[in-house]
């Protein structure tokens, strides 16, 4: 029996194919930001309040216009069938079982339509803007037609970050798998690459548009009939521009430390972004969340919800749908316990005053 989310990762390190394992766990360059995403949570302390009635604790919250059982949701991670044969289909079913939101990667190994058929739960689509704008338009329209409730536009990937394990492995999607949302004409297969690069880096260079700008955000909004969020915001300046652009939310994200190394952790800049939007739009967070206490800290600093990435992959590899469900149950119970011990009976009870810097703890 696994006792924490790190146990799922340790299992994957022993059992998952190296090509997939290194792809999932790698970050950019020296992976400073990958480590910092987690360590930064440890520099925050929880300031509990006592003598509060916590005989009944509820983690129910709202995600845009939808009610979810918990603010712990599932981030977009690509190529999930490298972790388990059912891949994104199993993840979607687990999200539905636990009444939370799953964000499907554009680079999924199960199609938008197949994921929609597998689960009636709340789903968003993560979107890249392709050089071929019709490819992007088709993705948006297919997601909307399939009942996806929002579009999360990734804005931090004009090029792919330099991920050393993928370069050494010459990362390739296994030949029996494809990026299922694209036809063969859209180069759905990510194969091995020339020396000094990865197959995915070559794919991004050939397909993803590095000229993406705020004008393209307006173009996406003109097509979308559902809310549009920006994923990859790390500064107050861009947060204010996002509000001016009329988007429906921002996700504070550094792509799991996979794009540019030495950027700050997401929890370190969350409050900056939250203050910059000044309540105009909701703010979400991904990156480094491994404990219920991490979730609590993020909520106290302004996040409406958090999204889990790598832990979902490790749990999926462990036991498919049941593994992801088990992982969600574990971290949700940690959140419930953290709330009870901090004197919070509901998500609304969690305030900025519940979190402080660890350095301010008195020396004993």
CATH number at residue 78: 3.20.20.70
Q: Domain for residue 331, yes or no?
A: yes
pLDDT at 187: 46
Binding region for FMN: 76-78, 105, 126, 154, 231, 253, 258, 286-290, 309-310
Q: Which residues contact 208 (CB under 8 A, 6 or more apart)?
A: 128, 129, 130, 131, 157, 158, 159
Instruction: Read off the pLDDT of residues 59-109 as tens digits, 9 standing for 90 and up.
Output: 999 999 999 999 999 999 999 999 999 999 999 999 999 999 999 999 999
139 is a domain residue: yes
Residue 33 in any domain: the answer is yes
Residue 140, φ and ψ in degrees, nearest 5: -60, -45
Q: Let me know if residue 152 belongs to a domain.
A: yes
Backbone angles phi, psi at 149, to 5 degrees: -95, -10
Q: How far apart are CA 31 and CA 12, in angstroms?
A: 19
Quick one: pLDDT at residue 359? 62
Residues 6+ apart with CB under 8 A from 259: 28, 156, 157, 160, 161, 232
- Centroid of chain to Cα 198: 22
Token pair listed for 244: 């001016």
Give the max Cα distance, the chain.
66
Residue 353 within a domain:
no
Residue 12, classed as helix, strand or coil, is helix
Binding-site annotation: residue ranges: 23, 76-78, 105, 126, 128, 154, 163, 231, 253, 255, 258, 286-290, 309-310
> Is residue 352 a part of any domain in this protein?
no
The answer to whether residue 255 is catalytic is yes
Q: Which domain does 37 fall in, by range?
A: 5-45+63-347
Q: State the pLDDT at residue 364.
A: 47
Residue positions in the annotated binding site for glyoxylate?
23, 128, 163, 255
Domain count for the chain: 1
pLDDT per position as a tens digit, 131-150: 999 999 999 999 999 999 99
Catalytic residue, from 84, 255, 317, 354: name it: 255
Query: Quick one: pLDDT at residue 199?
Result: 75
Q: Is 164 a member of any domain?
A: yes
Domain for residue 151, yes or no?
yes
Q: What percent of the chain has pLDDT over 70?
A: 95
Half-sphere exposure of 93 (CA within 13 A, CB side): 14
Averaged pLDDT for residues 28-49: 97
pTM: 0.95
Average pLDDT over the chain, rounded to an integer: 94
- Tell me the percentage of the chain whose pLDDT exceeds 90: 91
- The residue written with tokens 């119970």 in the block is 333
């Amino acid at each position: 029996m696994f006792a924490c989310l790190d146990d799922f990762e340790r299992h994957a390190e022993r059992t998952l194919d190296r090509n997939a394992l290194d792809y999932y766990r790698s970050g950019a360059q020296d992976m400073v930001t990958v480590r910092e995403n987690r360590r930064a949570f440890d520099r925050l302390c929880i300031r509990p309040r006592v003598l509060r009635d916590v005989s009944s604790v509820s983690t129910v919250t709202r995600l845009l216009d939808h009610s979810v059982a918990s603010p712990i949701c599932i981030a977009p991670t690509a190529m999930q069938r490298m972790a388990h044969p059912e891949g994104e289909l199993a993840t979607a079913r687990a999200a539905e079982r636990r009444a939370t939101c799953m964000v499907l990667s554009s680079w999924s190994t199960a199609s938008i339509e197949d994921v929609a058929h597998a689960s009636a739960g709340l789903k968003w689509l993560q979107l890249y803007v392709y050089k071929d704008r019709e490819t992007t338009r088709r993705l948006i329209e297919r997601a909307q037609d399939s009942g996806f409730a929002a579009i999360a536009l990734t804005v931090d990937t004009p090029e792919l970050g330099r991920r050393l394990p993928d370069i050494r492995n010459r990362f390739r999607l296994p030949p029996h798998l494809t990026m299922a949302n694209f036809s063969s004409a859209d180069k759905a297969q990510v194969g091995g690459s020339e020396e000094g690069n990865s197959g995915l880096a070559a794919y991004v260079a050939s397909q993803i548009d590095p000229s993406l700008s705020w004008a393209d955000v307006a173009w996406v909004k003109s097509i979308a009939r559902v809310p549009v969020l920006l994923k990859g915001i790390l500064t107050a300046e861009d947060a204010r521009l996002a509000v001016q652009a009329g988007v429906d939310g921002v996700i504070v994200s550094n792509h799991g430390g996979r794009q540019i190394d030495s950027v700050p952790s997401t929890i370190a800049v969350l409050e900056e972004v939250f203050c910059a939007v000044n309540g105009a739009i909701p703010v979400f967070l991904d990156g480094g969340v491994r404990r219920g206490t991490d979730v609590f800290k993020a909520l106290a600093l302004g996040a409406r919800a958090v999204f889990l990435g790598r832990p979902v992959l490790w749990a999926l590899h462990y036991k498919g749908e049941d593994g992801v469900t088990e992982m969600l149950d574990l971290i949700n119970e940690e959140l419930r316990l953290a709330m009870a011990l901090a004197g919070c009976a509901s998500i609304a009870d969690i305030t900025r005053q519940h979190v402080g810097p660890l350095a301010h703890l008195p020396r004993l």
